[in-house]
Each structure stands twice: as C-alpha cells, then as structure tokens.
Structure 1
Amino acid sequence: MRRRAAAAVTAAAALALAGCGGADSGGGAELSVGSAYMPQPVSDMAAGFLTITNDGGTADRLTSVSSDAAGEVTVHETVDGAMRQAESLDIPAHGSLVLESGGNHLMFEQLKRKPKQGQKVSVELRFDRSDPVTVEIPVKSATYVPKTGH
C-alpha cells in the first residue's frame, strides 16, 4: 500500500492524484483520489469534480470537505436533475464515488479568491471511517470537459 501511496503522490504533481487515506488492519477502506479538476470559476462559486476509489473491503462515506480557497465547501448530490446539499455520500467497498459534472459534485461557496486556469486548489476530504485526504485540484478552463473518466 505504501508503494501505491508513493506512486499516487508522485502522480499528484502531474495528474492531481492523491494517495491513500487511512485503513484499519481488518480489511478496511483503502481510499485513493483521482481525476480531480475544477473549472475556472466565473462567479463567487465554483464546482469541483473527482473520483474516490475504495480498494478495501469496507465501505466508507465522504462526510465533509474544506478548502482555504472558500468560506464553505459543500457536498451536493443530483437527484432527478435537481441539485441538493448532501450530509454525506457513500463510497462502496471495492467501488468508487464519482463526483462529475451533471451529477454529484463539490460546491465551493464564498470564494476567497478566484483561482485561475493552471493554478491548484487544496482541499481536505474527510470520511466517516478513514483518515482525511488532502488533494490538490488543478483549475482547468471554464469550459473544460474531461476526455476520459467522468
């Protein structure tokens, strides 16, 4: 697991991937984060997208997110085309939680600064069972659409 975490940290510089969160010795959650990006904000709010993968045998939940770039970061879910704030989102064992445009996502509210394309925004993801994970989210153009992943 340490090799995977080290590889993920190395990839973070180029691909904005973050390493593993905490895992218990009983086959707990083994979390990694990838495909992170934020479209350059055009107002005092911004959205964030990423995938949390759980390679462990125990489910977990994303319970909160914070960033020094925003007064508040909330987790939103999209149900029947309507966006609403969620208390938490499930990360299944041996599965993924995908935060994507048009679906579940992060909302950065009360931006303290408007990050520009090419910059990164640091966020801390907190979970029900695992240790927090810090992710450097790259800021893409306002019209960016990923080619793969989300």
Structure 2
Amino acid sequence: MRRRLGPAALVIAGALALAGCGGPDSESGDSASGSGNAELSVSSAYMPQPVSDEMAAGFFTVTNKGGAADELTSVTSDIAGQVTVHETVGSAMQEVKGLKVPARGELVLKSGGNHLMFEQLKHKPKEGQTVSVELHFAHSGPVEVEMPVKSATYRPTTGH
C-alpha cells in the first residue's frame, strides 16, 4: 500500500531527512541468537525527537553473523499504539510486512530508507530519554532494544 504524504507527514519526513543514519556513536549492544543458524545483533539504534505529537521514526542496524537468513516481521513498543515497518521509494513511504536480514549480512534502517514509524504515540519522547522496543523475527526469538532519543536534527558523525 502506498500513501501520499500529507502536511504533517511532510514535516516528519523533512525531520527524518535531517536525522541522518545511526553509527557506532549510537550505542545499543542488544543482541540475541535465534533458532536455526541466524545470529542477530542490533546496533546504532536511535529515535530522532519527534516533531509531531502523533508520530516518530526509529533507526538501527541488524547484523546477522549466521548462515541462515531471517526477516524482521514486526515491532512493538509501549510508547505507541502501533509500530510499522516502512521502506522509502523515491519520496513515498511504503509499509511492508517484513524486511529481510540476509545470512552473513545486515539490515540497515536509516533516514531516507527503511525505517520504523511509531504511530499513535502515547507520549512524546524527549531528547535524552530512552524508548524500549521489541523486534520480532520470522525465525529468531524477539530482541529487545533500548533506543536513545536524539535531537530532531541529529546527524551521526560516523555511519553507513
């Protein structure tokens, strides 16, 4: 399903474009070994401080050191009514049912590309706070990630 960006979404999209992508200075060492041969770890997690009271974005990298592929199928968080997984094609966000994590590869969620959308925020996270999320995969067990909230214009000094 493709959505046209409305005025609020355009403001958020602009903030996301300014946010950049996470790098090693965004520490989040959460990891989990899944069933089968997928060996997943999550790094560079962050959320730019939302500019809207209704929506926020999230970024991170999932690294798979194992010999079997996996797929990020959903995300949950207690701060949002729902968290959806998106890819960006041109200037259009597209919600997807899952994103592949290749064997011996990475799934990168970054500004301007694949990302999370936190919708129906229960409260607006502020810079310096941490948001807890749980990543769900097709084959591996859930992975809990602590996502630091950065400034709305945060640009990592290192990255992808």
TM category, shorter: 0.7 to 0.9
Q: 2:90 aligns with which of 55, 76, 80?
A: 80
- In the alignment, does 2:142 pair up with 1:132? yes
- Name the structure 1 match of 2:57: 47
1:51-80 CA deviation, whole Å, 9 max, x = no partner? 000000000000000000100000001123
Task: Report the Cα offset of residue 42 of structure 1.
Answer: 1.2
In 2: Cα distance, 1:102 partner to 1:30 partner: 27
- Name the structure 2 match of 1:11: none
In 2: Cα distance, 1:81 partner to 1:149 partner: 22
- In the alignment, does 2:108 pair up with 1:92? no
TM-score, with structure 1 as normaliser: 0.86
In 1: Cα distance, 2:130 partner to 2:34 partner: 24
1:83-105 CA deviation, whole Å, 9 max, x = no partner? 11000000000000000000000
In 2: Cα distance, 1:65 partner to 1:39 partner: 17
In 1: Cα distance, 2:159 partner to 2:140 partner: 24
- CA contact under 8 A between 1:57 and 1:94: conserved in structure 2? yes
In 1: Cα distance, 2:69 partner to 2:48 partner: 29
Greater Cα shift, 91-100 or 72-81: 72-81
Aligned length: 134
Misfit runs of 4+, over 6 Å: none
Task: Report the Cα offset of residue 114 of structure 1.
Answer: 0.5
1:34-55 CA deviation, whole Å, 9 max, x = no partner? 0000000111100000000000
In 1: Cα distance, 2:33 partner to 2:82 partner: 22
Q: Which blocks of at least 5 consecutive residues in structure 2 are unaligned?
A: 1-25
- Name the structure 2 match of 1:6: none
Which amino acid counterpart does residue 126 of structure 2 have in structure 1? K
1:108-136 CA deviation, whole Å, 9 max, x = no partner? 00000101101000000000000000000
In 1: Cα distance, 2:86 partner to 2:156 partner: 20
* Bigger relative contact order, structure 1 or 2 (CA pairs below 8 A, ≥6 apart): 2
Share of identical aligned residues, percent? 67
